[in-house]
Amino acid sequence: MFRRKLTALEYHNPTGFDCKDETEFRNFIVWLEDQKIRHYKIEDRGNLRNIPSSDWPNHFEKYLQDVNCPFSAQERQETVDWLLGLAVRFEYGDNVEKYRNCKPVTEASDVQKSADPLINLDSNNPDFKAGVLALANLLKIQRHDDYLVMLKAIRILIQERLSPDAIAKASQAKEGLPVALDKHILGFDTGDATLNEAARVLRLLHIEELRELQTKINEAIVAVQAIIADPKTDHRLGKVGR
């Protein structure tokens, strides 16, 4: 997931980098600070360069605070991605003339851009990623490597659950038909009229839940049939399907 940024920064192993390998990760952080970010003075980088030290995680945590990283050392993937984004910004700032005449590669057409405003967002911006992650945590949305995918999930949730129409619909009281409990046979007797009535209510609620479950099962069956019930016919083989 870091290959493009690592390649842009001319890292020696962009395709094989594994941030879960502790030694490789620590060496990578040292390289990133020495070659690209350069937040510390050279004489102040000794703690980060002391890779075998048992105190290295504490020094790395302090380093993240010093560069104002919004993630903690425990969130390793997010931290690496954020630091790479910071390094790319510094790399561009150091070589503005080199990159000024580079034409951006556009994968989407103008029609697509106008149709989906998310395409115009800079998904590599550290502030953008921090904001999306904060929203995802607030709304309890599962994390994804692609921050645009996470943002789309947030948009869908807000549209379906938090829009004024959705809130108004959810707040409407559901009115049901009155039910005569004495007409429903319980099937057993608790010896107490109040308990018998409570048992009838619980049984009716359970039946309602079963009906809702059956409805969802039917909807799932219809959805599956819509996918598999339209096979392609190969006339040359005289078979249905591939």
> Can you give the pLDDT at residue 205?
85
Question: How many folded domains does the chain comprise?
Answer: 3
Q: Are residues 158 and 140 in the same domain?
A: yes
Question: Comparing 44-53, 120-129, 143-152, 194-203, which segment has the lowest mean pLDDT?
Answer: 120-129
In a 10 Å sphere around its CB, with 0-12 CB exposed, 13-18 middle and 19+ buried, how is residue 165 labelled?
A: exposed
In a domain, 237, yes or no: no
Task: Mark out the alpha helices in 67-186 (DSSP H runs).
Answer: 76-94, 96-100, 110-115, 126-139, 147-157, 164-171
> Can you give the pLDDT at residue 127?
81
In a domain, 169, yes or no: yes
Q: Is 238 left (phi over 0), alpha (psi -120 to 50) or beta?
A: left
Q: Are residues 96 and 135 in the same domain?
A: no
In a domain, 110, yes or no: no
Q: Of 168 and 82, which is predicted with more confidence? A: 82
Q: Are residues 149 and 227 in the same domain?
A: no
Domain that holds residue 134: 123-175
Question: Are the C-beta atoms of 181 and 166 separated by less than 8 Å?
Answer: no
In a domain, 161, yes or no: yes
In a domain, 80, yes or no: yes
Q: Of 170 and 173, which is predicted with more confidence? A: 170
What is the residue-averaged pLDDT of the chain? 79
Q: Are residues 73 and 57 in the same domain?
A: yes
> Can you give the pLDDT at residue 144?
80
